[in-house]
Chains A and B, each alone.
Chain A
Amino acid sequence: MKHKIKYFFLILVLSVSTFDIIAQRFPAPEFEGDYKIPQTQISKVQPVFFEYLDIAVFLATLSVITWVIIKKRSRKAVFWISVFSLLYFGFYRNGCICPVGSLQNVSMALFHPEYTIPVTAIIFFIAPLGFTLFFGRTFCAGVCPLGAIQDIIALRPVSLKPWIRYVFGLIPFIYLGLAVLYAATGTDFIICRYDPFVEFFRHSGSSLIFGIGGILLVTGIFVARPYCRFFCPYGVLLNLVSRVSRRHLSIANGKCVNCRLCESACPFDAIDKPTGLESKKDNRGLVKKMMIYGLITPVLILVTGWSVSRFHGELAHVNFKVRLAEEMMTIDKNINNATLPDEIKAFQSSGSVVENLYREAASIVYRFYVGSWILGGFIGLVFGLTLARLTIFRYRDEYLTNKGNCYSCVRCVPYCPIK
């Protein structure tokens, strides 16, 4: 055993020195025969052309589905486009890179000037938001491969209680905040790491994620689009942007006769029912409530900001450099080198100065401290606004798609007798 350890250490030391000098221990042979040294074989990279092809297909699909939703209002066409997206962006392109994940590339690029962001990531991030700004979430309807796989299997959707929707609807905001924090600190892309469906698209991956994906898909038969509604961080952005969209899909195009036929057509509970006339009068208490919530929101922001910042150390622990620095601080200097973890061996053999590592780790931890305050504050703001929104009363005398939550899937339109 002792021998083995020594032997490993020897290899370690030697391998370091080898790569430092890149000198040849054994000279290149001089062949007498006519043997020629073969060339080193490596494989090609997929030409950049395919990236641009992807962008073109993406923009084309997005345009076509938007036209189909806004002008044709055809559920059938939307369905077939989502099948296409699932096959192309999902199974053919392995679901990567997707707009949901691209928000991390963008956050990383905004905070790391040295990071060269792929053009695909920029366009995949911006185009769906741009379309949503004018036409609603047509991207979600059938371009997003994650959305498509869930939409197709939503066979027996049940209606969820509003409080469930509100409470679980907060998760995507937290997820978004965490994803941005980790990407902005250059730590990790957690959306990619926990993408539940990408393993299906690739036919390989970790069994844990496979399991989560499987559970989501089975749930998705009854609770339509569970990932979209209760996890998707990009969906948060689309939801907010969609609220000010210009020409959102509407069920009756303003000619609703309150026949109630579409009332339960939406698998996502995204149809807002008419409020009725009584509630129109009963409006006074609400104003008061709203003012109260307006006052407690800043308090909430401070409280959650403070609470989350308490955990900045734990959050920062995901970062490789922070972890390494902590390990370096705690290692026993006299311990046998061969038993040290790989990352410490690698660090020691790299010849880097440990003080620099500590300094770098400290600055990352500080960024996490600031970031966790912002993340906490953001969560508090979302809580506050959610509470306040519950009290806002908006009079409706017709059945309307909820511009934020509606995925523009066009399922409700065929129920409407007004064409």
Chain B
Amino acid sequence: MKEKTKFNRRDFINTGLRIGIGAGLGLIGVGLSTRSVNGKTTWQIDPAKCIQCGKCTTECVLQTSAVKCVHVTDMCGYCDLCSGYLKQGSKELNTAAENRLCPTNAIVRTFVEEPYFEYKIVEELCIACGKCVKNCGAFGNGSLQLQIQQQLCLNCNQCSIARNCPSQAITRVDTDSPYSLKGFKDLKIGG
């Protein structure tokens, strides 16, 4: 008989605790869900803050970084002497390999008409070193910008580049506007 009452008392305490914990969990859930408008957030670089330090190449958890150079074509001057394509100080207008800035040759140049050239980034080759971005920003129009390509990004709970970015340029942004490019008129989201 004595055993039984004891058992009941413990049962009673357990039920009480259970209700308490359950209520606590419910409160947290309801409280937080009012603050979570979307399904998720995504990581993105603010090009206005980024200083092209080169960490994007090495700090991403992926073997080849999810960060890529994006060419905002609307801003491009189609320059013959492209500061993002050619090394500064290459005296002659010579596009020989040693004069090109990109370490992986990810920028393809095609002649359009005198004196304009079109530049394209081959995404598979780009390693997000930011060299072209830096030079284009310094001497050109700033049409080359580093962005996290959302198709490649694993959307880590904590982006490991963001943790080490010296300019703290990487933040969580709303998934509805997952890119922070500057100066574009026309954007094609696809593939």
Interface residues in chain A, defined as those with a beta carbon under 8 Å from any beta carbon in chain B: 7, 10-12, 14-15, 18-20, 22, 24-29, 31-33, 35, 37-46, 48, 51-52, 94, 96-97, 101-102, 104-106, 109-110, 113, 115-122, 125-126, 129-130, 133-134, 188-189, 192-193, 199, 202, 204-206, 241, 244-246, 320, 341-343, 345-347, 349-350
Closest to B179 in A: A42
Report whether A43 and B36 are in contact in the complex, using a CB–CB cutoff of 8 Å: no
Report whether B186 and A342 are in contact in the complex, using a CB–CB cutoff of 8 Å: no
- A204–B182 Cα distance when bound, in Å, is 31
Given contacts A51-B39, A119-B38, could you give 19 more A-B pairs where the C-beta distance is less than 8 Å?
A: A11-B135, A15-B134, A27-B77, A41-B190, A45-B175, A46-B155, A48-B175, A115-B172, A116-B38, A116-B172, A119-B33, A122-B32, A130-B22, A133-B25, A204-B62, A241-B21, A246-B14, A345-B51, A347-B167
Q: Given the complex, which residues of B lie within 8 Å of A129, measured CB to CB?
A: 21, 25
Which B133-180 residues have a C-beta within 8 angstroms of A? Answer: 134-135, 137-142, 147, 149-152, 154-158, 160, 163, 166-169, 172, 174-175, 178-179
Report whether A122 and B29 are in contact in the complex, using a CB–CB cutoff of 8 Å: yes
Q: Give, as a whole number of angstroms, the nearest-CB distance from A233 to chain B.
A: 14
Report whether B142 and A18 are in contact in the complex, using a CB–CB cutoff of 8 Å: yes
B183 on the A face (CB < 8 A)? yes
Report whether A204 and B63 are in contact in the complex, using a CB–CB cutoff of 8 Å: yes
Other-chain contact of A202, B35, B38, B61, B79 (Cβ < 8 Å): B61
Report whether B158 and A188 are in contact in the complex, using a CB–CB cutoff of 8 Å: yes
Report whether B18 and A38 are in contact in the complex, using a CB–CB cutoff of 8 Å: no
Report whether A119 and B40 are in contact in the complex, using a CB–CB cutoff of 8 Å: yes
Query: Can you report 14 residue pairs joining A to B where beta carbons are below 8 Å apart?
Result: A19-B142, A25-B139, A40-B187, A43-B151, A44-B151, A46-B150, A109-B32, A110-B32, A116-B38, A119-B40, A121-B157, A126-B29, A133-B18, A346-B169
Report whether B154 and A96 are in contact in the complex, using a CB–CB cutoff of 8 Å: yes
Other-chain contact of A42, B32, B55, B149 (Cβ < 8 Å): B149
Report whether B187 and A42 are in contact in the complex, using a CB–CB cutoff of 8 Å: yes
Q: Given the complex, which residues of B lie within 8 Å of A342, measured CB to CB?
A: 51, 53, 55, 166-167
Q: Give, as a whole number of angstroms, the nearest-CB distance from B7 to chain A.
A: 11
When A18-B142, A29-B78 are in contact, do A96 and B150 touch as well, CB less than 8 Å? Answer: no
Q: Given the complex, which residues of A lie within 8 Å of B124, measured CB to CB?
A: none
When A48-B38, A51-B39, A96-B157 are in contact, do A126 and B28 touch as well, CB less than 8 Å? Answer: yes
Q: Give, as a whole number of angstroms, the nearest-CB distance from A175 to chain B.
A: 16
Report whether B188 and A109 are in contact in the complex, using a CB–CB cutoff of 8 Å: no
B112 on the A face (CB < 8 A)? yes
- A7–B172 Cα distance when bound, in Å, is 34
- A290–B113 Cα distance when bound, in Å, is 89
Closest to A33 in B: B113
Q: Given the complex, which residues of A lie within 8 Å of B67, measured CB to CB?
A: none
Closest to A320 in B: B168
**Residues of B contacting A: mostly:** loop
Q: Given the complex, which residues of B lie within 8 Å of A350, measured CB to CB?
A: 49, 167
When A105-B157, A119-B40 are in contact, do A19 and B77 touch as well, CB less than 8 Å? Answer: no
Q: Which residue of B35, B51, B52, B74 has the most chain A CB atoms within 10 A of its CB atom?
A: B51
Q: Give, as a whole number of angstroms, the nearest-CB distance from B1 to chain A.
A: 16
B70 on the A face (CB < 8 A)? yes
Q: Give, as a whole number of angstroms, the nearest-CB distance from A246 to chain B.
A: 7
Rank and list the top 4 A-B pairs by shortest CB-CB distance, nearest first: A26-B77, A346-B167, A43-B151, A48-B39
Interface residues in chain B, defined as those with a beta carbon under 8 Å from any beta carbon in chain A: 14, 17-18, 21-22, 25, 28-29, 32-33, 35-42, 47-49, 51-53, 55, 61-63, 70-79, 88, 112-113, 116, 118, 134-135, 137-142, 147, 149-152, 154-158, 160, 163, 166-169, 172, 174-175, 178-179, 181-184, 186-191
Report whether A244 and B17 are in contact in the complex, using a CB–CB cutoff of 8 Å: yes
Report whether A48 and B40 are in contact in the complex, using a CB–CB cutoff of 8 Å: yes
Other-chain contact of B77, A20, A22, A29 (Cβ < 8 Å): A29
Report whether A119 and B154 are in contact in the complex, using a CB–CB cutoff of 8 Å: no
Q: Give, as a whole number of angstroms, the nearest-CB distance from B40 to chain A.
A: 4
Report whether A25 and B166 are in contact in the complex, using a CB–CB cutoff of 8 Å: no
Closest to B120 in A: A38
When A120-B40, A122-B33, A346-B51 are in contact, do A40 and B157 touch as well, CB less than 8 Å? Answer: no
Q: Give, as a whole number of angstroms, the nearest-CB distance from B191 to chain A.
A: 6
Report whether B39 and A343 are in contact in the complex, using a CB–CB cutoff of 8 Å: no
Q: Give, as a whole number of angstroms, the nearest-CB distance from B16 to chain A.
A: 9
When A11-B134, A19-B142, A109-B35 are in contact, do A42 and B147 touch as well, CB less than 8 Å? Answer: yes
Other-chain contact of A35, B53, B74, B112 (Cβ < 8 Å): B112
Q: Give, as a whole number of angstroms, the nearest-CB distance from B183 to chain A.
A: 5
Report whether B61 and A205 are in contact in the complex, using a CB–CB cutoff of 8 Å: yes
Q: Given the complex, which residues of B lie within 8 Å of A33, measured CB to CB?
A: 112-113
- A104–B158 Cα distance when bound, in Å, is 10
Report whether B137 and A192 are in contact in the complex, using a CB–CB cutoff of 8 Å: no
Q: Given the complex, which residues of A lie within 8 Å of B188, measured CB to CB?
A: 39-42
When A29-B77, A35-B112, A244-B17 are in contact, do A202 and B186 touch as well, CB less than 8 Å? Answer: no
